[in-house]
Amino acid sequence: MNHVATEPVDLGAPLRVADLLAARGPIRVTAGEAVREQVAAGRIFLAKVLGDDRAVYGSTTGFGALVGYAGRADLRDQADNTLAHLGAGHGPDIDPAVARATLLVRAWSLARGASGVSPHVIDALTAALATTFVPAMPRYGSVGASGDLIPLGAAAQALRGRGHAYVGGERLPAAEALRRAGLEPLPLDGRDALALVNGTSLTTAAAALALAATRSAHRGVQRLTCLLADLLGSDPQFLDARLLGAYGHPGVVAVGAAMRGFAAGLTPSGRRPLQEPYSLRCAPQLLGAAEDALRYVDGVVAADLGAVSDNPLFFPADDAVVHGGNFFGQPAAFAADLLSMVVAQVGNLAERQLDLLVDPHRNTGLPPMLAAGPGQQHGLQGVQLASTAIVAEIRRDAVPASMQSLPTNLHNQDVVPLGTQAALRALDQARLLRILVGSLALGLRQAAHVGARTPTAPASAALLDALGAAIAPIDPDRPLEDDVRRAADVVEEFER
């Protein structure tokens, strides 16, 4: 039996990033009377428009560059006309958590009633989200315009019982996955099929999840910076409110205030230089600039989660069918590229702080590599090597996707945003940043074992205690990949 989260997501309420995070497992999604009425009204209006013999893209026409040709006369057959040619994706399947978040974003957009979909499409999406069903969606194939056509096409086909899907983590033919999940194959006509694929819901979902992961790591690095300064005995004047207020940037002021709160009680040892290296002294400026950038991404993601992404849109009150480009994922493309830049610089900061911590010439006399017995043991040496490689990996992938436009589809799509690639890559990088956070946290835990002073700030001491309770000292050497992930968990879950 599938376990369903107790807190439902209401399709009549604003969609939140927290809802997307919850959707990684079975979740109750409800559509109240007002939602059902607006979806029904859109569907009734579609029937009227078609009865009036008006041209409606995707219902009476071909698709993309073939819009000048008539579609199939039978609207049920038009669903195959929509979806069959989109079975052209490649690469690994998209992460199940991202795929399920995508279904939720698509359900919310369609529930606005402006897409003219059948009410049973909303019901099918909410029913699937209440189970462990996950459509198998290919990673490669979307340019982030005209919707995430190829991956969403695979999702629509899976809901129909075609292609592949997962249930309980097992990849199966979609028809069998539906059966095991207790779901019925979804019947579609041409408008239903096009509405399922003609939006950037994958881009939106991936960008939202990348933002959540980056924000978590960003908070973690703020706290770890304070713990590092405390263990080394640094003077906390680099966090002074007057200093940062004079700098004038809102994010810097906010981050400085948060870090001062965490570092409250930090007493300098008098053994550190007057001015710390930039990886400590300029941390509030760097992390504050990241905060300003993240606030911009917050706004883009919130707008995307509240957007109707489809074409055409139906406005029954105005007796209007409006064709345009609300499937063009440019806002998320820019935002995701900005996220990648934030991840790269915050990751660089964490790696440089780890380098400072393991260097006996700069760490106030701690042993090299924080080894309990240098030469006989090697402490954080392997972890630092891996961190260096991860920073290089993040940097290599930080080239903006949103500037890589290539014309396609007989120049119908002559400019494209490539937001899907930007968002999925930002999510990949945010997950790598989490490893860097865990690596720095593990180093700080080990520093306490090999002679660092006891933190004088209560919050820093509590974080160090939490790390110490979860992770044994590195003495003797052992494989540390699990400890890095565990340290990242501790930092993420820590509450002051």
Per-residue model confidence as pLDDT tens digits over 211-260: 999 999 999 999 999 999 999 999 999 999 999 999 999 999 999 999 99
Per-residue model confidence as pLDDT tens digits over 255-305: 999 999 999 999 999 999 999 999 999 999 999 999 999 999 999 999 999
pLDDT bracket for residue 395 (50, 70, 90): very high
pLDDT at 2 over 50: no
Domain definitions of the chain by residue range: 5-199, 206-310+325-493
CA–CA distance, 216 with 203 (Å, rounded to integer): 20
Question: Quick one: pLDDT at residue 65?
Answer: 61
| Cut 0.75: pTM above it | yes
Active-site residue list: 57
CA–CA distance, 486 with 470 (Å, rounded to integer): 7
User: How high is the mean pLDDT of the chain?
Assistant: 94
Q: Which value, to the nearest 10 degrees, does the dihedral of the CA atoms of residues 146, 151, 156, 161 take?
A: 160
> For residue 29, which phi and psi values (nearest 5 degrees)?
-120, 125
Would you state the structure tokens that stand for residue 281, as one six-digit string? 């002294």
Same fold, 5-199 and 206-310+325-493: no
What is the three-class DSSP state of 405? Answer: coil
Could you tell me if residue 82 is left (phi over 0), alpha (psi between -120 and 50 degrees) or otherwise beta? alpha
**What average pLDDT score do residues 82-107 get?**
95
CATH-assigned architecture of domain 206-310+325-493: Up-down Bundle (1.20)
Q: Which CATH superfamily does the domain covering 5-199 fall into?
A: Fumarase/aspartase (N-terminal domain) (1.10.275.10)
Per-residue model confidence as pLDDT tens digits over 10-29: 999 999 999 999 999 999 99
Contacts of 187 (CB under 8 A, 6+ apart): 76, 120, 160
**What average pLDDT score do residues 180-209 get?**
96
Q: What is the DSSP letter of 236?
A: G
CA–CA distance, 490 with 56 (Å, rounded to integer): 54
pLDDT bracket for residue 53 (50, 70, 90): confident
Q: What is the DSSP letter of 275?
A: S
Per-residue model confidence as pLDDT tens digits over 310-369: 999 999 999 999 999 999 999 999 999 999 999 999 999 999 999 999 999 999 999 999
pLDDT at 464 over 60: yes
pLDDT bracket for residue 6 (50, 70, 90): low
Question: Quick one: pLDDT at residue 116?
Answer: 95
Would you state the structure tokens that stand for residue 209, as one six-digit string? 């999840």
Strand 5-10 vs strand 27-30: parallel, antiparallel, or unpaired? parallel
Of all helices (H) and strands (E), which one includes residue 90?
strand 90-93
pLDDT bracket for residue 77 (50, 70, 90): confident
pLDDT at 128 over 70: yes
Query: Closest by alpha carbon to 290, among 205, 355, 194, 214?
Result: 214
pLDDT at 185 over 50: yes
Question: Quick one: pLDDT at residue 417?
Answer: 81
Q: Report CA torsion sign: 382, 388, 391, 397.
A: negative
Question: Quick one: pLDDT at residue 81?
Answer: 80
> For residue 170, which phi and psi values (nearest 5 degrees)?
-100, 130
CA–CA distance, 390 with 347 (Å, rounded to integer): 9
List, as one string, the DSSP characters of 306-332. Answer: T----SSEEEGGGTEEE-S-TT--HHH
pLDDT at 1 over 60: no
Q: Count CB atoms within 10 A of the CB of residue 318.
A: 9
Q: What percent of the chain has pLDDT over 70?
A: 97
pLDDT at 201 over 70: yes
pLDDT at 3 over 60: no
Q: What's the residue count for the chain?
A: 496
Could you tell me if residue 163 is left (phi over 0), alpha (psi between -120 and 50 degrees) or otherwise beta? left
pLDDT bracket for residue 146 (50, 70, 90): confident
> For residue 382, which phi and psi values (nearest 5 degrees)?
-65, -40
